[in-house]
Amino acid sequence: MPEFASAFLRTLSERGFIHQCTDAAALDARASSGAVPAYIGFDATAPSLHAGSLVQIMMLRWLQQTGHKPIVLMGGGTTRVGDPSGKDESRQLLDDAAIESNIAGIKQVFSRFLNFGDGPTDAILVNNDAWLRGLRYVDFLREVGRHFSINRMLSFDSVRLRLEREQPLSFLEFNYMILQAYDFMELNRRHGCALQMGGSDQWGNIVNGVDLTRRMSDAEVFGLTTPLLTTAGGAKMGKTAGGAVWLNGDMLPPYDYWQYWRNADDADVGRFLRLFTTLDLAEIARLESLQGAEINEAKKVLANAATRLLHGEEAAERAAKTAAETFVEGGGASADLPTISVDGGRLAEGVGVLSLFVEAGLTASNGEARRLIKNGGARLNDEKIADDSRQVSMNDIAANGAIKLSAGKKKHVLVRPN
RNA sequence: GGAGGGAUGCCCGAGUGGUUAAAGGGGACGGGCUGUAAACCCGUUGCGUAAGCUACGUUGGUUCGAAUCCAACUCCCUCCA
């Protein structure tokens, strides 16, 4: 990696954000001489972003911290088409109402990472539905479509891989890259946007946008991608056992978010600290060099810092405290563990453990709960459950007023009577 | 529109009339070892307390008995027009 003059590129480079860049030297010069508006697009396919998008969000954060203007593009329009990049099959099409509500959910997160406003380096959030929905087909074909060659489009991974694997690719999806390219040009016109960033799977879409903007607006714009992030275990970033690591607190409690980072693979700690926290690099180097069990300290720092960024100082501290109580001190049922309430009357009569595990969301069915017990992984108030016909009653309520159910060593739920 | 091929559990994939709740692999989950890690080892992996029920694209049929045979339909792929 060359030495960059601009704080922006230097930071991204040092922290491991850069995979490819269209013209790094020219972009560096541009970023050194004034505020650069840059955008990243987010599809509205789910009601929340997950940890897989965090690299992009952090990149926007650094952009702003180093004196530039972040543009968050919500893909209200493009989501109606569906990005084929990196997918073998077309995704189910979402209707407008679902897209609307997804956008509302996704928006929440950005204000934690970026400062929005009207100033030159304040972040703005726009929705490409604003200019895509009203497009007129024939006009669009004449003005935009003529700049695209099918020969070239077919060579892009997003298309080529589908064809090679004999997976269907609809004409609708085929057009996605054109619309995304058009977005870039439109953002350049409207907001002077000069840079699009994204994951490495977006490279094709991004360079198309760079080309189109040059052809139609005669403007030089840039593209930059992040490396495809996987954990050392080979898993995709942001996916775990239990599902996606959602950023919205109502979809994944801060405690679970904290746990996600705390459970990072040893080999990932340094990389994650650089990407997902704002700690300075010297400190990260120190943490990263910890050996053996000591690296757990680094994981706690990572979990604290990452949770603080997303959920705030207080939530991060509570999560850390709960984790300490749960894992270090063993017993105690900390108040911040996930909690369900059960009707007091039912509890007085006694409730079967199996159904209680299902109600707590620890197992998907009674059968699964039974297996869990048989495998010795089910605990009630930290005592192994041996009998799957056991009844749980008021007598099981511990001193703190709740019953603690555990599935394995890491998943715990408190049951409170109401 | 025509011809051919296909659809099996979370995923991949075997199975072409009976002991098939369906081989094998992956994933996931639990246990062991550890450091709430990785690797490794062991176990589990449709629902139901059970009788039993549901399941191999959908619907109907043949049969004592079907994922397996037949018919129609749906969707996908390839080639031709």
Across A6-15, A48-57, A329-338, A374-383, least confident range: A329-338
In the structure, what pLDDT confidence band is assigned to residue A62 with cuts at 50, 70 and 90? very high
Does A238 have pLDDT greater than 90?
Answer: no
**What are φ and ψ of residue A83, in 5° steps?**
-80, 120
> Are the CB atoms for A309 and A247 separated by under 8 Å?
no
CA of A170 to C1' of B7 (A): 20
Does A241 have pLDDT greater than 60?
Answer: no
The answer to whether A126 CB is within 7 Å of strand B is no
∠ at Cα A58 (A54, A64), nearest 5°? 150
Structure tokens at A49: 């972003």
Which string of b and e fits A89-111 if b means at least 16 CB within 10 Å? eeeeebeeebbeebbebbbebbe
CA of A128 to C1' of B77 (A): 34
Nucleotides of B under 7 A from a protein CB: 28-32, 34-39, 43-49, 76-78
More confident call, A70 vs A265: A70
Beta bridge partners of A416: A341
Q: Residue A349: what pLDDT?
A: 87
Stretch A291-307: mean pLDDT: 94
CA of A367 to C1' of B8 (A): 23
Other Cβ atoms less than 10 A from the Cβ of A375: the count is 9
The answer to whether A243 CB is within 7 Å of strand B is no
Burial class of residue A5 in the structure, from the number of CB atoms within 10 Å of its CB (0-12 exposed, 13-18 middle, 19+ buried): middle
CA of A374 to C1' of B22 (A): 24
CA of A367 to C1' of B47 (A): 8
Q: What is the C-alpha separation between A32 and A6, in angstroms, rounded?
A: 5
The answer to whether A372 CB is within 7 Å of strand B is yes
DSSP helix/strand/coil, A124: strand
Tell if the pTM clears 0.90, that is, is over it. no
The answer to whether A108 CB is within 7 Å of strand B is no
The answer to whether A392 CB is within 7 Å of strand B is no
Q: Residue A243: what pLDDT?
A: 65
Q: What is the C-alpha separation between A19 and A339, in angstroms, rounded?
A: 42
Q: Residue A68: what pLDDT?
A: 97
Q: Which helix (H) or strand (E) holds A26?
A: helix A24-32
In the structure, what pLDDT confidence band is assigned to residue A325 with cuts at 50, 70 and 90? confident
Q: Which helix (H) or strand (E) holds A407?
A: strand A403-407
CA of A365 to C1' of B66 (A): 30
